[in-house]
Chain A
């Protein structure tokens, strides 16, 4: 069962453009939605995260938009830069007292062309 679906699989954007990556989830019990950025040969690194009590969160050039009723959330990268070229994973989790298990999307390979 694929708990989190991510699209597109790959994305090419011109420098300065907006990159948009979409995710949809199934389990309404999820209450934490992070985005991870992964460079080749490195582990995933937390980029930005949102809880379902807000519809949008912005940190610098990165924005998460969250639609609870549609069970969808997306990452927007404004003014995309070549240094943003990486694989992006959305994820979702529930936060029980014993820690949380992340369900990851399949990843989006972003290439920003200079």
Chain B
């Protein structure tokens, strides 16, 4: 069964450092998303990406965040200068098209900023 894979599973970084979280969406999917979940809280939308550009982004997704699809398989989330409050589980998701509403989530990357 196809799945969304994320690496690394856990990333520890010092405050102010840049991190890149990586995702490989399901191969025939066209829509890609990043969500985050602060420990014990709800899953929050960060950004959606379609046709090589951001289609929607939330207030959380400020100038410190960027996304990229550098090749035909990877989808990355970069946090330029991490803050303590960026510590969370980050989930990548993908869906096949706008009418196929089932979004498949990866297992997540736990980011810890110290």
| Residues of A bordering B, CB below 8 Å | 32, 34, 36, 41-46, 49, 89, 91, 93, 95-107
Residues of chain B contacted by A93 (CB below 8 angstroms)? 101
Residues of chain A contacted by B41 (CB below 8 angstroms)? 106
Given contacts A43-B107, A99-B31, A104-B43, contact A34 B101 (CB under 8 A): yes
| Residues of B bordering A, CB below 8 Å | 4, 31, 33, 35, 41-45, 48, 50-51, 55-56, 58, 91, 93, 95, 98-99, 101-108
Identify B43's interface contact among A41, A44, A97, A100, CB under 8 A: A44
Docked-complex contact A101 and B45, CB < 8 angstroms:
yes
Given contacts A89-B43, A107-B42, contact A100 B101 (CB under 8 A): yes
Kindly report which residue of chain A lies nearest to residue B9, judged by CB atoms.
Answer: A41
Residues of chain A contacted by B98 (CB below 8 angstroms)? 95-100
Q: How far is the CA of A34 from the CA of B105 in the complex (A)?
A: 13
A-B Cβ contacts below 8 A, count? 75
Given contacts A89-B42, A98-B48, contact A46 B103 (CB under 8 A): yes
Q: How far is the CA of A107 from the CA of B41 in the complex (A)?
A: 8
Q: How far is the CA of A15 from the CA of B35 in the complex (A)?
A: 33
User: What are 22 A-B contacts with C-beta separation under 8 Å?
Assistant: A34-B102, A36-B105, A41-B108, A42-B107, A43-B4, A44-B105, A46-B102, A46-B104, A49-B101, A91-B43, A93-B101, A95-B99, A97-B98, A98-B50, A99-B56, A100-B95, A100-B98, A100-B101, A101-B58, A102-B45, A104-B35, A104-B43
Kindly report which residue of chain B lies nearest to residue A4, judged by CB atoms.
Answer: B42
Docked-complex contact B107 and A41, CB < 8 angstroms:
yes
Kindly report which residue of chain A lies nearest to residue B91, judged by CB atoms.
Answer: A43
Docked-complex contact B48 and A99, CB < 8 angstroms:
yes
- Nearest CB of chain A from residue B77's CB, rounded to whole Å: 14
